[in-house]
A = this chain, B = another copy of it.
Amino acid sequence: MITIYHLDRSRSERAVWLMEELSAAYEIEHFDRTATWEAAPDYKTLHPLGSSPVISVDGKVIAESGAVIEYLATTVGSGVLALSPGHSRYADYLYWFHFAECTLMNILTSEIMSERAGVDEQHASRIYNRRRRDELLAFVDDHLASNRFIAGDDFTAADIMITFPFTTTRAFAPFKIDAYPNIVAYLARIRSRPAYRRGQHIAGPNRDRTETQDK
């Protein structure tokens, strides 16, 4: 039994999307953010660090975005979304999987934290950070010029990791995505996936709140 504790507008939408891609059964519990976009107090009791995502598998709590997605991708269903050591694109798969959170999201969340803490927008630290962000985005854009999905021809869990920085994250850390046409075209391919659309309907930033989402 898998339960996703979905914090509104957070990384846990990745877990919902992955389960939809795998057509796997799960339950979902929704948690709101406060007016200042913090996680609601009841969410913070799920895990000692209060971070998102948090899931439970047969009662065991698992947190940390990369760990949750890697765990689900390798243990649920056919495991088809996790490339294995023998695959010709295995190294690329691992690279982009880890890059998405450790490098790209790191830079984007740094901009969010600086903004919230009142570091002047023109402070050297923020200028450096935005320059590095633009460098990373251009690097991804260049890669996507010749790759249909982030690790090659096939959709993988690395796509689930890399999409979030380009979508929901921009509500917190805005940047001009139109400057990166290959990322824009990639997002169109992502949005054409029925499982992505289902995931957004259930757990995206504009999710439908008029119906019971548990399934």
Contact = CB atoms under 8 A, between A and B. Distances in A.
A85 B74 contact: yes
A197 to B, nearest CB: 27
Nearest to A66: B98
A10 interface: no
When A and B form their complex, which 9 residue pairs have the shortest distance between CB atoms, in order from nearest? A117-B125, A66-B98, A67-B94, A67-B98, A67-B95, A117-B124, A64-B98, A101-B102, A102-B102
Contact of A70 (B98, B114, B117): B98
Interface string A62-82: 111111001100110000000
A187 interface: no
A121 interface: no
A48 B95 contact: no
Contacts of A57: 91
A91 B62 contact: yes
Most B CB contacts (10 A, CB to CB) among A65, A98, A117 go to A98
A171 interface: no
A97 interface: yes
Contacts of A64: 94-95, 98-99, 102-103
